[in-house]
Amino acid sequence: MAYGPRSAPPDPQRRTGALIGVAIIAALAIAIASIVTFIATHSERLEVPVGPAQGCLVTMDDYTTTLTWEQSINASIIVGESIRRGLPARAATIALVTAYQESDLRNLDYGDADSVGLFQQRPSQGWGTVEQIMDPWYSAGKFYEALAKVDGWETGVINDVAQAVQRSAHPEKYAQHEQKGRAWASALTGYSPAAISCIDRVENPANAAFLTDFVATVWPDTVSVTTSETGGLLLSTDSETTSWAVAQLAQIRGQEMGLVSLQAIDQTWAVSSNEYAHWQPAAAAAAPVVVTLR
C-alpha cells in the first residue's frame, strides 16, 4: 500500500503503549470488582462496632449515668477504700462527688499549682509526695482521713462537706455532681442491687489473681474466694449487701480480669460488646456471688 505525502506509517511503540494501557485498566477493573465482592460477602466481619462507648452504666430509678473504663477503675478504688475502712456509703458519695469535680475521676499528673491525682491534692499542703498521691488507694485514704475530721460530715450538705476538705477556689461546684456520686456509691456499696451494666470490646484473658487480690484488700476478713468445679470463682459472705457490693465492684473491674458473667444470689448478668445488658433472674440461686472468667 502506498502512502500519500501527508500520511505516515503506524508507530509500533505507540501501538504497544496503547495495549499496555488497556491491560492496566482491565486489571484495575478486575481488582476493584474483587474488592467489592469481598466486602459484600464479608460485611459482617468487617463491620465496625456501633453502639454505646465502652465503659459502665448505673441506673437508679429513672436516672442513668456512665463511666469510661478508666473512670470505673478509679471509682472502684474510691468506694473500695471506704468499705475497707468501715465507712458508711455516704463517705463514698462525698468522695466520688469530690473526685468528679477535681479530676473527672481521672488520676491526673498535673493540676493547679502542684495539685495532682484524683482529688488534686497538693504535696506542699501536706497530702504526701507526688508519688504517693498518684496512687489512687493512697489518695482516697488521705481524703477519708481528712473527711473524718470535718464536724457533721455524716449529715451535712455534701457540697459543703466536700469544700471543707478541699478548700477549693470554687466552693459551690461540688453540688452539680451529687446525683452521679450518689448513684455510683449506692450501687458499689451494695445498697442498689442489679444497678450496673458494662460494655467490653477488649476481651482480655482471665486473671483470677486480680479479683482475689482486690477482694482481699477491700474485705480481708468477711469475703472468701474459692474455685468452683466448673472453674468459676465463688465469693462467699454472710451479707446480701456485701454480696451486691462484691458483684458490682467486680463488674466495673471486669475488663482487667477478663469477666464473662456474674451471678449474684438470684440474678445473673453477662458482659456484652455492644449493649448495656440487663441483669436477669437466675434459673436457681447460687453462692452469694459466682464469677465466670474467660
Residue where one domain finishes, among candidates 151, 172, 189: 189
In a domain, 172, yes or no: yes
Query: In this predicted structure, what is the pLDDT of residue 51?
Result: 76
Residue 271 near residue 279, CB atoms below 8 Å: no
Check whether residue 199 and residue 184 sit in a common domain.
no
The last residue of one of the domains, among 189, 223, 257, is 189
Residue 286's pLDDT is what?
81
Give the whole-angstrom CA distance, residue 273 versus residue 88: 34
In a domain, 292, yes or no: yes
CATH number of the domain that residue 137 is part of: 1.10.530
CB 188 within 8 A of CB 76: yes
Residue-level pLDDT at 4: 46
C-alpha cell at 20: 499496555
- 174 domain residue, yes or no: yes
pLDDT at res. 127: 98
pLDDT value of position 102 = 99
Residue 150 lies in a domain: yes
pLDDT at residue 228 in the model: 85
Nearest to 49 by CA among 208, 244, 272: 272
241 plus 165 within the same structural domain: no
**Residue 40 belongs to a domain:** no
Report H helices in 3-134.
12-41, 43-46, 69-84, 89-103, 130-133
Residues 258, 157 within the same domain: no
Judge if 221 and 172 occupy the same domain.
no
Nearest Cα neighbor of 267 from 247, 282, 252 is 282
Q: Same domain for 149 and 230? A: no
Residue 39: the pLDDT is: 47
In a domain, 39, yes or no: no
- What is residue 23's predicted lDDT score, i.e. its pLDDT? 57
How confident is the model over 177-224, as pLDDT tens digits? 999 999 999 999 999 999 999 999 999 999 999 999 999 999 999 999
Domain boundaries, position 229: 193-294
How far apart, in whole angstroms, are the C-alpha atoms of residue 188 and residue 40?
45
Ranges of H-type helices in the chain: 12-41, 43-46, 69-84, 89-103, 130-133, 136-147, 158-166, 178-188, 208-218, 240-252, 254-257
189, 214, 249 - which closes a domain: 189
Q: Are residues 92 and 218 in the same domain?
A: no
Q: Let me know whether 101 and 85 are in one domain.
A: yes
Co-location of 156 and 217 in the same domain? no
Identify whether 30 is part of a domain.
no
Are 214 and 245 in the same domain?
yes
Same domain for 266 and 181 = no
Same structural domain for residues 168 and 67? yes
pLDDT computed for residue 112 by the predictor: 94
For residue 245, give the C-alpha cell. Answer: 457490693
Identify whether 3 is part of a domain: no
> Which residues of the chain have a pLDDT value below 70?
1-50
pTM attached to this predicted model: 0.83
The number of domains in the chain is 2
Do 284 and 209 share a structural domain? Answer: yes
Which cell goes with 43? 460485611
Q: What is the pLDDT of residue 229?
A: 82
